[in-house]
Amino acid sequence: MYSGRMIFSQLLDFVPRYEFGRCVRRYRGNYRIRTFPCLTQLLCMTFAQLTFRESLRDIETCLGAVSSKLYHVGICHPVSRSTLADANERRDWRIYRDFTGVLIKIARGLYLHDEFGVQLDQVAYVLDSTTIDLCLSLFPWARFRKRKGAIKLHTLLDLRGNIPVFVRVTHGKVHDLKILDELIPDPGAFYIMDKAYTDFRRLYRLTQSLSFFVIRAKVNLDYRRRNYRWVDKTTGLRSDQTILLAGPKSSQLYPTALRRISYYDEPTKKRLVFLTNNFDLPALTIPQLYQRRWQVELFFKWIKQHLRIKAFFGTTPNAVKTQVWIAIGVYVLVAIVKKQLTIERKMSEILQILSITLFDKADLYQTLIETDLQNLKNHYGNQLSLFDF
């Protein structure tokens, strides 16, 4: 029988403590703190994310139920909901943003050579945003509509491993286009976006930075054709053209040539038109790249379903951003564990297994590969069993 460390303690081996300490010192997170340092706050919030806790009282009760085991994972003092609430509201959220950046750097190195369904040597990113609704009476600072509050999660996703490499938490009213001003273009990389990001001044900045983009064209695009290339229409392609923008304003904002590719999608019966500044890739690769844009939608769906970023433990902007960044950090941490231990399970399955074994004394690797998922599904059933036969 295994008599070593708990699952939670083994999981924390993948957390670079020294780098976290640097992030804490950078923003003086432990200044005049005696019994509840930032590391303890991180552990409590990570526990809440991994075990699907719903509130501060829920966290306090569950941690109190295993109080004799907390010392072995680094929580040296009892955790009260008021102490955790104060920490979420007052500790600088940038501590957890920077630390999540450290985890992202580690994860990207692990997934550097992964395939993502398109034959491409360069790095490919997908840029998009999602809206997280908030109760306006509890979050008056996040007014989005007359009777609705919201924040936006802007994300740049690396398709190799589906790792978020750039995240911004903004007010719900911030337009997606403004995030392009904050990006530092990676020369040679591809940026895949939907038509909401059509701004030729900002797109020309990507071209000047030697980066490539793939974007849906708007139906009212004003252009003139310079030349065209032959395409195989049995693949769905309809045209491959070199164009110049003809609008009086757009032609000044983007004065060089663009590549316009028309594609007919048989499953949806839709004709899609793409713009790119790359003239070297085969024409069919451009629609294939854009098809991978759906990965960022799956990422948003995953974190909303499996992590706690829709119900918040605090109402201040600092508390909300702290919880969002720790949630993203947990997602990246699970991705690191999956890759380093070569686990073949889905990340959602790993998260479910961790949620009920966190304080078990068992080998982490053996637990993740041997747990019976059928028992997990029964464990998470919403309906109680009235009779046992």
Q: In whole angstroms, give the CA distance from residue 26 to residue 280.
A: 44
**By the 8 A CB rule, do 154 and 299 touch?**
no
Cβ atoms of 347 and 302 closer than 8 Å: yes
Under 8 Å between Cβ of 113 and 139: no
Q: What residue ranges in 177-296 does DSSP mark as E strands?
A: 190-193, 212-216, 223-229, 237-245, 258-265, 270-276
The predicted pLDDT at position 34 comes to 86
Return left, alpha or beta for 85; rule: phi > 0 is left, psi -120 to 50 is alpha, else beta: alpha
User: Global pTM?
Assistant: 0.91
> For residue 301, what are the contacts with CB-CB under 8 A and spacing of at least 6?
none
Q: Give residue-wise pLDDT tens across range 149-199.
A: 999 999 999 999 999 999 999 999 999 999 999 999 999 999 999 999 999
The tens-digit pLDDT sequence of the chain (389 residues) is 455 899 999 999 999 999 999 999 999 999 988 889 999 999 999 999 999 999 999 999 999 999 999 998 988 888 999 999 999 999 999 999 999 999 999 999 999 999 998 989 999 999 999 999 999 999 999 999 888 899 999 999 999 999 999 999 999 999 999 999 999 999 999 999 999 999 999 999 999 999 999 999 999 999 999 999 999 999 999 999 999 999 999 999 999 999 999 999 988 889 999 999 999 999 999 999 999 999 999 999 999 999 999 889 999 999 999 999 999 999 999 999 999 999 999 999 999 999 999 999 999 999 999 876 665 555 444 554 444 44
Whole-number pLDDT of residue 178: 93
